Amino acid sequence: MSFLKKIYSFLNSRDDNKNSSDSFLKFLKSILGYNPQNIEVFKEAFTHRSAQKKDENGNSINFERLEFLGDALLGASAAMHLYYKAPGQQEGYLTKMRSKIVSRRQLNAVSKQLGLLDHLEPLNNHHNLGEDVNGDILEALVGAIYVDGGINAVQEFIQVKIIDPYADLDRLEHTITSHKSLILEWSQKTRNTIRFNTFDEQNAEDLQIFVSVVRLNDKVISKGRGTSKKKAEESAAKRAYYSLQKKIEKV
């Protein structure tokens, strides 16, 4: 490649990166409701560990630390909302409703509505990450908002994007938080045996994927995949629930 071609290629690459950054910033402004200051923390929130990014010290750059922070912030915000919204209810009810507000199913739905997965690095092979990566990104985004804008910014986001549109208590009372708990409870009542066999899935990529197999009285009735044992088992349990739904509803 000639010197001029190298210069041309470099300039085009720089323009592509600038356009990508501008597009990402525009997307952030559209969902946050304010102008973010620390763009790098949001880029981290949208980086999966399979991208294998590292900083100058060799430390991994991915959304997992922000996901941990966002999970705690979501739980606290849901708890505060319920404390004031349901003054006559006791701890058991409040705990149950909090779990439903921040359930994986709920967070996945919000994330899809916001289109978060479209901006996840790497931009390909998202189908290998499992359904729950949607909620993982949302939790990481919440963590990034706190780091960038503080407690007021993150509470506003959670209230507007998650609690106001999705935390209707009457509706939540009839939603299922854990399909695994539900089918295990049914099996105990009906003296059936439900077993989960969960193991690592071998794959060529640098991804840790788990597979869970549900057996009813030693007969396989469903399988599920996820990026953790818990997620794989809930995925498998959800499929098992739908195959057993008529029997479960009779009990």
Annotated binding site for Mg(2+): 67, 136, 139
Please report, in range form, the residues annotated as the binding site.
Answer: 67, 136, 139
- Whether 139 is a known active-site residue: answer yes
Of 131, 132, 139, 233, the catalytic one is 139
Q: Is the distance from CB of 234 to CB of 178 less than 8 angstroms?
A: yes
What distances in angstroms separate CA 210 from CA 128, 134, 161, 200, 203, one per listed residue?
11, 17, 31, 5, 10
Torsion of CA 42, 48, 53, 56, to 10 degrees: 50
Spatial neighbors of 98 by CB under 8 A, at least 6 apart, are 75, 78, 79, 82
Residue 59, Ramachandran bin (φ over 0: left; ψ between -120 and 50: alpha; else beta):
beta
- Between CA 144 and CA 69 the distance in angstroms is 9
**What residues are annotated to the active site?**
71, 139
